[in-house]
């Protein structure tokens, strides 16, 4: 009788944590699987710029970079939010506070003169579901923060003739992508 209760408890625990909307991943991600996932995303608009280990696309109205560092196989999902030069001290403090309590696995970071929403993990520890959840967290975090920029601060707008508001955005060859430093 006791073993039946233990077995039933284990079965109930497994069923409680199983999510039929997100079946278990069938394996680890690599560049080919990432490419297929990104190309199959709903909510992508425009073209997907890609090279092995690098993707740039617009997802739910936000530019998103997905980068796999070949040296350490670390995957980064990044979405630019605003040029740092337009953010006041209180706004940056709010970003740090949100890192502690409100961003799930996504984080705010500063690099290349921009405030970013970022997720980083090693490719070997990610499955498809984790990648998709992390992508959605990065985009939601970026959108939420962009909406919270103090009204007396200008919203990020592109300078005439520049898509990045005068700040150099990343390319596959960018230093931050090669060695993780800004």
Has residue 2 been placed in a domain?
A: no
9 belongs to a structural domain: no
Q: Domain containing 131: what range?
A: 25-179
Domain presence at residue 11: no
Q: What is the mean pLDDT of the chain?
A: 74
The string of pLDDT tens digits covering residues 115-125 is 999 999 998 88
139 or 101: which leads in pLDDT: 139
11-68 tens-digit pLDDT: 333 333 334 344 444 567 888 899 999 999 998 988 999 999 999 999 999 999 999 9
Q: How many domains does the chain have?
A: 1
What CATH number is attached to the domain comprising 36?
Answer: 3.30.1460.10
pLDDT band for 179, please (50, 70, 90 cuts).
very low
Exposure letters 152-166 (e unless 16+ CB within 10 A, then b): eeeebeeeeeeebbe
Residue 10 domain flag: no
């Amino acid at each position: 009788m006791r073993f039946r209760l233990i077995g039933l408890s284990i079965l109930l625990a497994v069923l409680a944590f199983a999510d039929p909307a997100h079946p278990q991943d069938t394996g680890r991600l690599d560049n080919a699987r990432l490419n297929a996932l990104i190309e199959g995303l709903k909510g992508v608009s425009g073209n997907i710029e890609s090279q092995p280990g690098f993707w740039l696309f617009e997802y739910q109205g936000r530019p998103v970079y997905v980068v796999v560092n070949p040296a350490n196989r670390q995957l980064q999902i990044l979405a630019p939010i605003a040029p740092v030069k337009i953010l006041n001290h209180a706004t940056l403090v709010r970003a740090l506070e949100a890192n502690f309590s409100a961003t799930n696995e996504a984080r705010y970071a500063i690099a290349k003169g921009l405030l970013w929403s970022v997720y980083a993990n090693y490719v070997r520890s990610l499955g498809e579901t984790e990648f998709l959840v992390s992508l959605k967290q990065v985009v939601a975090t970026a959108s939420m923060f962009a909406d919270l920029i103090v009204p007396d601060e200008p919203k990020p707008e592109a300078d005439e003739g520049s898509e990045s508001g005068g700040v150099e955005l990343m390319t596959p060859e960018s230093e931050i992508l090669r060695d993780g430093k800004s």
